Chain A
Amino acid sequence: MSLELLSHRHRIADEGDAIDYCFRQNWSDGLPVVPPTEARVAAMLEAAQLAPDKVIGFIPEREITITAEKVAINAVLAGCKPEYMPVVVAAIECITDPAWAYHGPSTTTSGPAVLIIVNGPIARELDINSGENLFGPGWRSNLTIGRAVRLVMRNVCGSLPGVLDRATHGHPGKLSYVIAENELESPWDPLHVDRGFKKEQSTVTVLAADGPRQIFSQLAPTTDGVLTMMADDMRISGGVIGQTHYVVLLAGEHMEMVVRDGWTKTDVKRYLFENTMNTYAHLRRTYRFPLPLKPGDETRIRPLVSNEDMFFIIPAGGKAGAFSSYIPGWAKASWSRMVTKEIVR
């Protein structure tokens, strides 16, 4: 196993200029980065027990090999602590999995971000936020892990804005979009167990996804009331292209209701599936489907998703506030699939 770091070295005469140098070299996502010295990179690799030349991922359409060394350098840039490295590595393995199909989601004008959901004991060990301010600022682990993944995409895979990343708007999740599931306060099996892993394993799940849409359900006293409002919002969120994944994030007050009313995950999924149907007429009139109207369109029904298992119900978010969110996945589920991989330590 070769421990030698093979990356090209840039000599900076004035250490104080290092951050600006990184900006000038176009290595940054727009925010200052941590200058990647050999010592910092070596610490990152050591924490994950990885040889620098270990191949983490390969993107065939671009013939790009991503080595552990390059992941480590970008993790340093992002401001990760060395102990975050195994999570970043697992996320890179996910986005280079053929099922995620890197080229589509990273290039498209619809600009999805990489939603990263962390499960298992590692979330608590690394203090990855699953509660209040779920998508917001304040947690080094959430923000730097997501940022590291984006920096690899930009610096190693060439997904640069205007070049190979043509998002018309994109959304803020493209800086970083990492959450953990609130497993401790959930009556259900967590996401990774649903996806075939053991509870004591730690995993990363990625999904090409739009920004979160929040619902405010102060007047709904029961679970089905909350879900009725959510379904009403979701029903018209569907894009023109296809049936995709939907991640549903139920925060504190709503999860209390769910537990009190005794709903299972399947109950929630089924309710949402049944209440997010649209007629073809509606889809055509709102230019989601092509005109003209065809006979029978007023009664012909199209479900939002291909089946109820395309709703992924995840307890997460703060305890106070009658808010929950849902996140539509990108385009069509078959174009880029949700991928889950174990975090290896």
Chain B
Amino acid sequence: MNLQVVDEALAATREGLEVAGFSLKLGENNGRLSLTIGANEGACEECLVPKSLFLQMVRDEMAAGGVKVDGIDVVYPVDRKAE
């Protein structure tokens, strides 16, 4: 998986997150793409869309960018708090 290519395809998503005070980190885990969203200070967690919507957006953008990925795992700030 070429994370650079994925990153370019997800530019719009990244911008939307950063504008709302979030960070986006890309990683690979056993052949699956992992997207970790971090909350910067003052970020409004309510501003994050539901995961299903986020996945839809990400898939659409990757399709538009001609990038194919089999599995995508999304980690939200609230998921890490629960650990």
Which A residues are closer than 8 A to B by beta carbons?
2, 4-9, 11
Judged by DSSP, the binding face of B is helix
The distance in angstroms between the C-alpha atoms of A5 and B56, with both chains bound, is 12
Q: Shortest CB–CB separation between residue A121 and chain B, in angstroms?
A: 37
11 A-B residue pairings within 8 Å (CB atoms): A2-B71, A4-B55, A5-B52, A6-B52, A7-B52, A8-B52, A9-B50, A9-B51, A9-B52, A9-B53, A11-B50
Which B residues are closer than 8 A to A by beta carbons?
50-53, 55, 71
The distance in angstroms between the C-alpha atoms of A4 and B35, with both chains bound, is 14
User: Which residues of B lie under 8 Å from residue A4 when comparing CB positions?
Assistant: 55
Question: Closest 8 CB pairs between A and B?
Answer: A9-B50, A9-B52, A8-B52, A11-B50, A6-B52, A2-B71, A7-B52, A9-B53
Pick the most buried of A2, A4, A6: most chain B CB atoms within 10 A of its CB: A4
Residue of A whose beta carbon sits closest to that of B53: A9
Residue of B whose beta carbon sits closest to that of A8: B52
The distance in angstroms between the C-alpha atoms of A307 and B52, with both chains bound, is 54
User: Which residues of A lie under 8 Å from residue B50 when comparing CB positions?
Assistant: 9, 11
The distance in angstroms between the C-alpha atoms of A2 and B70, with both chains bound, is 10
User: Which residues of A lie under 8 Å from residue B71 when comparing CB positions?
Assistant: 2
The distance in angstroms between the C-alpha atoms of A2 and B53, with both chains bound, is 17
The distance in angstroms between the C-alpha atoms of A4 and B55, with both chains bound, is 10
User: Which residues of B lie under 8 Å from residue A11 when comparing CB positions?
Assistant: 50
User: Which residues of B lie under 8 Å from residue A8 when comparing CB positions?
Assistant: 52
User: Which residues of B lie under 8 Å from residue A2 when comparing CB positions?
Assistant: 71
The distance in angstroms between the C-alpha atoms of A7 and B55, with both chains bound, is 11
Q: Shortest CB–CB separation between residue A12 and chain B, in angstroms?
A: 12
Other contacts beyond A8-B52, A9-B51: 9, CB < 8 A: A2-B71, A4-B55, A5-B52, A6-B52, A7-B52, A9-B50, A9-B52, A9-B53, A11-B50
